């Protein structure tokens, strides 16, 4: 049995985010608060260009954010295509706790956020705006899939009580079509938690993750007895198979999963090398390079 509590999260920025989550867990806080606080650090950081404030805009120059959160009782909340609100995951949490619904999008999500006391802020930094203008010149307004653009923070935590929660937040694919929603706010695709089994979250090309209900798939594979590592591997293989069958551009596609089970064992896998994830437990503080299928 691995040590508790444990928090894992996607990419390099997961190291700092884990520290915030860890403080919550160490002080006896629950996994839900830990994952929310953890990912909010990255949402607020303008230097992170793929999540929250400072995120790259869509092709119309609008920063539109996707996020969701899920707890150990299968309470869920999600927002998609949310504009001008710095902390979409906090709005997702409010959707979960303050409404009879689980998902709000666009204008309605923003209206709800304002009612909840969130304030409108400009999320398009000068740098993001400059790069977008440049892209308009070079890109002919065509959305592109570029693996460099794919960074979501997904975080999973197992708390002292043995409960699991997860959160996922992103500005989505850079220069996407306006209104495009990725996997990250979709429960089952970008994130899934089943407190009897484990939890998983995804990063990368959201369309491909949605196609196989990726995070739910990873959790179901763990339910069938696979380790978190083996479950992530099987899900990536499944996505690869679909890409091959559809003759899709595999070289342009990156997918990464991370997963944790009830024992606190964790794993990850990705389609192409370059993905990593951060782990924080009583015995481990580490950035781990995920192994890759290709
Ligand atoms: C998406 N998975 O919108 C998200 C964001 C991303 O790494 O590109 N993630 O498809």
Ligand 1: atom nearest CA of 180 is: 3
CA angle 102, 103, 104 (to 5 degrees): 135
Q: How far is the CA of 81 from the centre of ligand 1 (A)?
A: 13
Q: Which of 42, 68, 155, 190 is the best mutation target for the ligand 1 pocket, counting ligand atoms within 8 Å of the beta carbon and taking the most?
A: 190
Pick the residue whose CA is nearest to atom 10 on ligand 1: 206
Tell me the pLDDT tens digit for each residue of 92-107.
Answer: 999 999 999 999 999 9
Q: Closest Cα partner for 24 from 11, 39, 12?
A: 39
Say what the pLDDT of residue 148 is.
Answer: 57
Per-residue pLDDT of the chain (294 residues; tens, 9 = 90+): 567 899 999 999 999 999 999 999 999 999 999 999 999 999 988 888 888 888 899 999 999 999 999 999 999 999 999 999 999 999 999 999 999 999 999 999 999 999 999 999 999 999 999 999 998 988 777 766 654 555 899 999 999 999 999 999 999 999 999 999 999 999 999 999 999 999 999 999 999 999 999 999 999 999 999 999 999 999 999 999 999 999 998 988 899 999 999 999 999 999 999 999 999 999 999 999 999 999
In whole angstroms, give the CA distance from residue 81 to residue 184. 11
Tell me the pLDDT tens digit for each residue of 229-252.
Answer: 999 999 999 999 999 999 998 988
Average pLDDT, the chain: 94
Chain centre to alpha carbon of residue 37: 14
Q: Catalytic annotation on 213?
A: no
Where are the strands (E) in the chain, listed by range?
Answer: 6-10, 64-70, 76-83, 103-105, 153-158, 164-170, 191-194, 198-204, 255-261, 266-270, 276-281, 284-289
Say what the pLDDT of residue 2 is.
Answer: 66
Say what the pLDDT of residue 58 is.
Answer: 94
**Reported ipTM:** 0.94
Give ligand 1 pocket residues (Cβ under 6 A): 150-152, 170, 172-173, 182-184, 203-206
């Amino acid at each position: 049995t691995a040590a508790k509590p444990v928090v894992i999260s996607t990419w390099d920025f997961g190291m700092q985010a884990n520290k915030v989550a860890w403080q919550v867990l160490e002080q006896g806080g629950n996994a839900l608060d830990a994952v929310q606080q953890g990912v909010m650090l990255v949402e607020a950081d303008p230097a992170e260009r793929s999540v929250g404030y400072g995120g790259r805009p869509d092709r119309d120059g609008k920063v539109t954010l996707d996020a969701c959160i899920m707890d150990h009782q299968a309470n869920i909340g999600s927002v998609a295509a949310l504009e001008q609100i710095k902390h979409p995951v906090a709005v997702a949490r409010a959707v979960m706790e303050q409404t009879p619904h689980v998902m709000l999008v666009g204008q309605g999500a923003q209206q709800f956020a304002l009612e909840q006391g969130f304030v409108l802020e400009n999320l398009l930094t000068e740098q993001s705006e400059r790069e977008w203008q440049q892209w308009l010149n070079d890109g002919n307004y065509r959305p592109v899939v570029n693996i460099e653009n794919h960074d979501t923070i997904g975080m999973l935590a197992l708390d002292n009580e043995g409960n699991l929660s997860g959160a996922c937040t992103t500005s989505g694919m850079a220069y996407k079509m306006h209104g495009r929603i990725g996997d990250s706010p979709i429960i089952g695709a970008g994130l899934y938690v089943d407190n009897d089994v484990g939890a998983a979250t995804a990063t990368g090309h959201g369309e491909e993750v949605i196609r196989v209900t990726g995070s739910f798939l990873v959790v179901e594979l763990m339910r069938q007895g696979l380790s978190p590592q083996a479950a992530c591997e099987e899900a990536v293989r499944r996505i690869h198979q679909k890409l091959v069958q559809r003759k899709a551009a595999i070289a342009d596609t990156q997918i990464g999963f991370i997963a944790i089970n009830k024992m606190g064992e964790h794993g990850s896998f990705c389609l192409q090398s370059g993905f990593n994830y951060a782990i924080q437990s009583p015995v481990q503080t580490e950035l781990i390079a995920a192994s890759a299928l290709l």
